[in-house]
Amino acid sequence: MPRIITRPFLFSPLTLCISAVASAAKTAVKRKKLFTAVLALSWAFSVTAAERIVVAGGSLTELIYAMGAGERVVGVDETTSYPPETAKLPHIGYWKQLSSEGILSLRPDSVITWQDAGPQIVLDQLRAQKVNVVTLPRVPATLEQMYANIRQLAKTLQVPEQGDALVTQISQRLERVQQNVAAKKAPVKAMFILSAGGSAPQVAGKGSVADAILSLAGAENVATHQQYKSYSAESLIAANPEVIVVTSQMVDGDINRLRSIAGITHTAAWKNQRIVTVDQNLILEWVRVLLMSLSLYTSSFGRNKWI
């Protein structure tokens, strides 16, 4: 909790000592000053406690709740699905297609979102209305950046201790996963297909958020290009991943929809039924990248079945 909560109580012992040794006139003056100080502190505490926050970014929402500040959130965007209580909050659309009217209707003191949120004109309109707009970098998708975001968000919320504790908790979980990964003889060879428009799969390469998911999960990304690239049937067969990760939107409840991707049925992943599905929206959210990668490691890469 913000330090400001404890400050009013620091004045009471001091005030009693002053009252015991000072003259009546001086005591009256000091009491008046003390009352003013306590009143100011109480007002500041009320503002902090009553702060209204709108969050555009599912990962950011989760972080705010994880640090115990969820009661301040009065609105979220469409990528927010956790924790469950956020389902009851007003939704403001998608973080890349924000509307100032919808956000301002919630009377926020602050809006917290990603640096590449938009449109930019909407963020400018919010600032013009004296709304504190806080933006955090979504890329590069590195652990260092995620930890920096957590600490910056904790500072913004005035809960630095909770931010440090969350970083420690995450790093400890990752350390356990990495120890298990290091104990394995060889990492699983995996491929992340983000989309397959026109049957040509868009494969995630080095430097992409999807690549970070695979790496953190202890897998080796067989795609060596940078960012995203279309793969031909020949390229897909040559890569021959042991596990293929796709979005749930591509499958839409039927794994056989992937048969339209040329070459996929010739891969080891397809033959051994090692196809993993994840929500596409989560790929855009760095904190969900961590959760997803932990989930992939613990429940997916060691099983031979459709997931």
Tens digits of per-residue pLDDT, 122-156? 999 999 999 999 999 987 667 788 899 999 999 99
**What pLDDT is stored for residue 132 in this prediction?**
97
Instruction: Tell me 132's DSSP state.
Output: E
Beta carbons of 141 and 221 less than 8 angstroms apart: no
pLDDT single digits (tens) 209-261:
788 878 877 789 999 999 889 999 999 999 999 999 988 888 888 889 899 89
Instruction: Report the percentage of the chain scoring pLDDT > 70.
Output: 73
Sheet bearing 132-136, strands edge to edge: 73-76, 53-56, 110-114, 132-136
Mean pLDDT of 252-276: 91
Cα separation, 65 vs 272, in Å, equals 39
Cα separation, 63 vs 46, in Å, equals 23
Residue 120 pLDDT greater than 70, yes or no: yes
Mean pLDDT of 191-204: 83
Q: CATH top-level class for 53-167?
A: alpha beta
The token pair that represents 59 in the structure block: 């990962």
Residue 44 pLDDT greater than 50, yes or no: no
Ranges 73-82, 178-187, 236-245: which has the least confidence = 178-187
Please, which pLDDT band fits residue 82 given cuts at 50, 70 and 90? confident
Same fold? 53-167, 185-299:
yes
Residue 283 pLDDT greater than 90, yes or no: no
Helix axes of 143-157 and 160-183: crossing angle, nearest 10 degrees: 160
**What pLDDT is stored for residue 197 in this prediction?**
66
Q: Where are the alpha helices (DSSP H) in the chain?
A: 11-21, 24-49, 58-66, 100-104, 120-128, 143-157, 160-183, 209-216, 233-239, 248-251, 268-271, 280-283, 286-299
**What pLDDT is stored for residue 27 in this prediction?**
45
Cα separation, 38 vs 32, in Å, equals 10
Residue 113 pLDDT greater than 60, yes or no: yes
Omega cis (within 30) before 201: no
**What pLDDT is stored for residue 135 in this prediction?**
96
Query: What pTM does this model have?
Result: 0.63
Which has the higher per-residue pLDDT, 289 or 41?
Answer: 289
Q: DSSP string of 148-211?
A: HHHHHHHHHHT-HHHHHHHHHHHHHHHHHHHHHHHHSSSPEEEEEEEE-GGG--EEE-BTSHHH
Centroid of chain to Cα 20 = 54
Instruction: Specify whether domain 185-299 bears CATH 3.40.50.1980.
Output: yes
Cα separation, 136 vs 134, in Å, equals 7
**What pLDDT is stored for residue 18 in this prediction?**
27
**What pLDDT is stored for residue 1 in this prediction?**
36
Helix (H, G, I), strand (E, B) or coil at 247: strand
Query: So where are the chain's domains?
Result: 3-49, 53-167, 185-299
